[in-house]
Structure 1
């Protein structure tokens, strides 16, 4: 049997972390509750299924936020490396004391 109170608590915490754009908190919540998340299955009660659907939407939003942040970090890292390579071409920089 799925613990609906835990699901509700997790959903609320995840939603607040999304609002705050707290990436570390989102990752921690998902990591700490990974086993629980994988046990979620449809229930016979329609109200419980609505809570599950709501959690799925929140989880998808959190996952997308993590992907977007990761992509932005990759882009910034690429720009940093590109700039470093461009700067190192100048002899004055290499020979600077």
Structure 2
């Protein structure tokens, strides 16, 4: 049997993921002042270099997502979803994160 991850490894991985979310969030927030809709944000982000491993999705809503491969499928490990009014939600493994990172 393969031993599970240690608490230190899990905590370290979580810190890396939170840093990646913060980088994506900083990029989104820095552009918020110069765009008025999520679609304008999407078009602006298409010309930017995204954080490593992130993919930009336009529909059904503008999202920055990070996919990971699991044993049986691909899964979204992180996502920043932007509503049309430029409000946003952060998710880590499908759990909503507080915006006060």
TM range (shorter): 0.3 to 0.5
Between structure 1 and structure 2, the one with the greater Rg is: 1
Question: Of the two structures, which has the highest relative contact order with CA contacts closer than 8 Å and spacing of 6 or more?
Answer: 1
Please state which structure has a larger fraction of its residues in strand: 2
Instruction: With the length of structure 1 as denominator, give the TM-score of the two structures.
Output: 0.33
